[in-house]
């Protein structure tokens, strides 16, 4: 596989967008907008020249993102389009794994986001007790 196909690039673009956090507003996030313009502006001769730049510069440190955005790897060698696509695929896999990790932590540690009163009440219910209702003076 010497050059990635448009179908591969489209799939990669969609997988990167899928891993972005959901927005509550109707406007897309700045990163999603940047990814869209990057993928839309990619010339057909170099299909991945700015794809990996957009995705990797958001997740890597400043020094490595500067090297990536100039098309160079850590040792200064020019990256091929295939290497850039592979890096973007690795980024998509990493983001998916992070999303799954957060989901599992929330599922198996349900009291993590509770306040102390709610945690005590649920602990008492677990052993079959109900806490008395606190007196509230009106």
pLDDT for 103-123, tens place per residue? 999 899 877 888 988 888 888
- Residue 113 belongs to some domain of the structure: yes
- Residue 30 belongs to some domain of the structure: no
Q: Of all helices (H) and strands (E), which one includes residue 125?
A: helix 116-126
- Residue 54 belongs to some domain of the structure: no
Q: Computed from CA positions of residues 91, 92, 97, 99, in that sequence, does the dihedral angle turn out positive or negative? A: positive
- Residue 76 belongs to some domain of the structure: no
Contact status, residue 35 vs residue 69, Cβ threshold 8 Å? no
Nearest Cα to Cα of residue 121 among 109, 107, 133: 133
- Residue 104 belongs to some domain of the structure: yes
Q: Which residue segment(s) compose the domain that 113 sits in?
A: 1-19+81-131
User: pTM here?
Assistant: 0.57
- Residue 29 belongs to some domain of the structure: no
Res 120: pLDDT: 87
Give the total number of structural domains in the chain: 1
What confidence tier does 2 reach under pLDDT thresholds 50, 70, 90?
low
pLDDT 10s digits, 56-73 = 444 433 334 434 444 555
């Amino acid at each position: 596989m010497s050059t990635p196909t448009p179908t591969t690039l489209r799939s990669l673009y969609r997988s990167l967008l899928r891993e972005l956090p959901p927005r509550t507003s109707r406007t897309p996030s700045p990163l999603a907008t940047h990814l869209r313009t990057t993928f839309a502006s990619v010339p057909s001769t170099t299909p991945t020249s700015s794809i990996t730049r957009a995705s990797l510069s958001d997740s890597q440190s400043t020094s490595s993102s500067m090297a990536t955005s100039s098309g160079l790897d850590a040792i200064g060698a020019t990256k091929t389009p295939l290497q850039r696509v592979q890096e973007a695929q690795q980024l998509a896999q990493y983001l998916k794994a992070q999303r799954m990790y957060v989901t599992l932590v929330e599922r198996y540690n349900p009291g993590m986001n509770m306040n102390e009163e709610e945690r005590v009440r649920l602990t008492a219910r677990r052993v079959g007790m109900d806490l008395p209702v606190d007196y509230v003076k009106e």
